[in-house]
Amino acid sequence: MSEFLEFKIDLENFIDDLNTRLDNNNKQIKELLHVESKTYANFVKPMQEMDENLEHFFTPLSHLNAVKNSDKTQEVYAESLPIITEYSTKLSQNLEIYKVYKNIYEDEKEQLNYEQNRVLELNIQGFELSGAHLDDATKERLQEINIKKSELSNNFSQNLLDATNAYEYIITDEKDVEGLPSSDIESAKFEEDGQVKYKFTLQMPSYIAYMTYGKNAKIRETLYKAYVTRSPENAEIIDGLLQLKNEKSKLLGFDNYAQLSLATKMANQEEEVLGFLESLMINSKSQAKDELQEVENIAQKPLESFDTAYYGEILKKDKYDLDEELYRPYFEQKSVVNGMFDFLTKLFGITFEKVEEKLWDEKAFSFNLHVEDKLRARLYLDLEARESKRGGAWMNNFQTHCIKEDATEQLASAFIVCNFPPSSDISPSLLRHDDVVTLFHEMGHAIHHMLSTVNENEVSGVNGVEWDAVEFPSQFLENFAYEPSVLKLFATHHKTGEVIPDDMIEKLVRSKNFLSASGMLRQLEFSIFDFKLHSKVYQGDEVQSLLDSIRADTALIKAPSYNKFQNGFSHIFAGGYAAGYYSYKWAEVLSADAFFKVVDEGIFNSKTAKKYLQIILNGGGAKSMSELFKELMGREPNTDNLLRLNGIH
């Protein structure tokens, strides 16, 4: 059995090493193409392994650039992108390889198992969506498009990170931080020229703190304006990306990028996606209007965009007697992590053991995952915010479970990255409940990848899973962060050791769907905007006009004209969610449906939870998620459970 890879990277020699590796790969591909009698075993298997080994080499760079960003990582990453994109595009367009895969599929389909057939089917589809069957001039243009797209996406992400890091707002009057949680005041506090001052930034923990608790509306508006006007230069990048995506779609025989995107998803038609989103909007709107009225009643004025979090928090306290800040001492980061592990042990019988190893940052840790005393995977956690880390939270896979060409087993590994409040020598990292939900969400992705028992790496773990199903396991797990029996496993006061009282849990559960219809409308706004934006070519002011027209239906508070949300929408312009942001809601139907079945059976005695481990988590991407879901539930998904989960009537 192979060991886990050591996390190491040589930035000085990375580009040379990358070029050498790609040259060797190209030589190996030539040799494989000269094999006379090509089979799955002697052609497809080595091709898969070569691709996996390249991932092992490249992932540490992309990971480091995201979590420990520096001038050097930026420079090396930017230089490597066109090299790796050119290589992967040429590979995905190689007509000879495409024909070999088709021939092997025709010849061996009956003898191969379903995992191997799925590898062939997805590869054949991938070759066709890369234009392998097209003429040389078209293939060359597609390659140019892919290189330019990857450069623009990287620039979009870097611009956003730079703009976020560049901004700070200094408060000198102590009155302006009254009402903020003491931990946030401490984080913001510094001394300069003998005077105590408070620094707020656009980093999530700092920004959210003032927007939620800051009494000074002018400061809230200043921070809000800085946040929604970040990276104006990204507007030009958006135009470039939209043109390139549309051109690529046309070259591949699709009317638009939305159609191209759906080729690899559970949803089939553009109308199906928009119909799904619009029906959710219709079901949510009336309740969202009632919610807004409640917040405005407590504010005693019509709300501005920068008011909603602040007055929403006041209403939440008033309605549920719930003060978020009182919960944080019960959600000390390490305790939450250990409690989440304990929950997974009870639910699935898996255990975690801390590994002592030096990683990229002193705040990063790793754990070995065991199933019935057998080592199965390794998990890396990097949970605290810092300047050199891009915002948000994500899971990224490193190694993938498979049986290698030499018949040895390769174990899986994955990273979970978050931006929780930083700990220090004098104060621990105390999480909001939202942070706990985020951690459970990313853990859902991680165990989906790490617990796979599939033996072909291209359809093992999260590989090969349809994009609009990939959020199913993450959302399924995050729902348990509101369950009383789960909370009691880890919600203990970091000073006294007292378990969170029942009345606090009850308030938290009751408040779960606070302003949920408004939240639903906001997510639908993003989803509809993304999907329509990729259905034809929008340029310049047309992008804003489209967003405004959608907001006319979804936004109950008119956004100020300076709000350029799209310039920070990295999910679709720097991530993989272009024409796929709807996937969050699509997958939430599956997750809500499965979650209620487990809860109704009794969480720790649930037969469905055990089946979920065997069918969904072990199954990876070796079958379509629609097939796996039917196997799990014995029926098609029930959309009503999504509304039930969100408390929408």
Q: List, in sequence order, every residue forming a beta bridge with 8; answer none if it has no partner.
A: none
Share of the chain above pLDDT 90, in %: 94
Rounded to an integer, the average pLDDT of 518-525 is 97
Q: What is the mean pLDDT of residues 640-644?
A: 91
* Average confidence (pLDDT) over 548-555: 96
Residue 482's Cβ-side half-sphere holds a number of Cα atoms within 13 Å equal to 18
Supply 303's token pair.
């709300």
Residue 426 has pLDDT above 50, yes or no: yes
Whether residue 349 is predicted with pLDDT greater than 50 in this model: the reply is: yes
**Residue 610 scores a pLDDT above 90:** yes
Q: Which residue has the higher pLDDT, 49 or 425?
A: 49
Average pLDDT over residues 615-625: 97
Place of tokens 């597609």: 142
Domain-by-domain residue ranges, the chain? 14-158, 167-228, 252-322+516-560+567-579, 330-450
pLDDT at 2 over 70: no
Q: Give me the pLDDT at residue 7, please.
A: 86
Mean pLDDT across the chain: 95
pLDDT digits (tens, 9 = 90+) for 213-244: 999 999 999 999 999 999 999 999 999 999 99
What are the structure tokens assigned to 201, written together?
């930034």
**What is the distance between the alpha carbons of residues 527 and 578, in angstroms, rounded to a whole number?**
10
Catalytic residue among 115, 270, 384, 442: 442
Cα separations (Å) of 85 from 50, 405, 570? 16, 26, 20
* 114, 620 Cβ separation under 8 angstroms: no
For residues 511-535, give the mean pLDDT: 97
Report the distance separating Cα 361 and Cα 382, nearest Å: 8
Alpha-carbon Rg of the chain, whole angstroms? 25
Q: Is the full-model pTM beyond 0.95?
A: no
The pLDDT of residue 1 is: 46
Q: Give the pairing of strands 412-420 and 374-384.
A: parallel
362 is catalytic: no
Q: Is it the case that residue 382 has pLDDT exceeding 90?
A: yes
Amino acid at position 433, single letter: H
* Tokens 């487990």, residue located: 598
Fold for the domain defined by 330-450: Collagenase (Catalytic Domain) (3.40.390)
Three-state helix/strand/coil letters over 399-453: CCCEECCCCCEECEEEEEEEEECCCCCCCCCECCHHHHHHHHHHHHHHHHHHCCC
Q: What is the pLDDT of residue 305?
A: 97
Average pLDDT (158-166) is 95
pLDDT in tens, 13-23: 999 999 999 99
Residue 127 has pLDDT above 50, yes or no: yes
Closest CA to 332 of 461, 500, 207: 500
- For helices 234-251 and 136-166, give the axis angle rounded to 10 degrees: 160
Question: How confident is the model at residue 410, as a pLDDT?
Answer: 96
Distance CA 590, CA 338 (A): 27
3-class DSSP assignment, residue 234: helix
Element (H, E) at 600: helix 583-601
Give Dmax (Cα) for the chain: 80
Whole-number Å distance between alpha carbons of 184 and 203: 13
Q: Taken in order 568, 572, 573, 579, is the CA torsion positive or negative?
A: negative
Mean pLDDT confidence for 594-621: 96
pLDDT of residue 273: 97
- CA-CA distance, 117 to 97, in Å (whole number)? 16
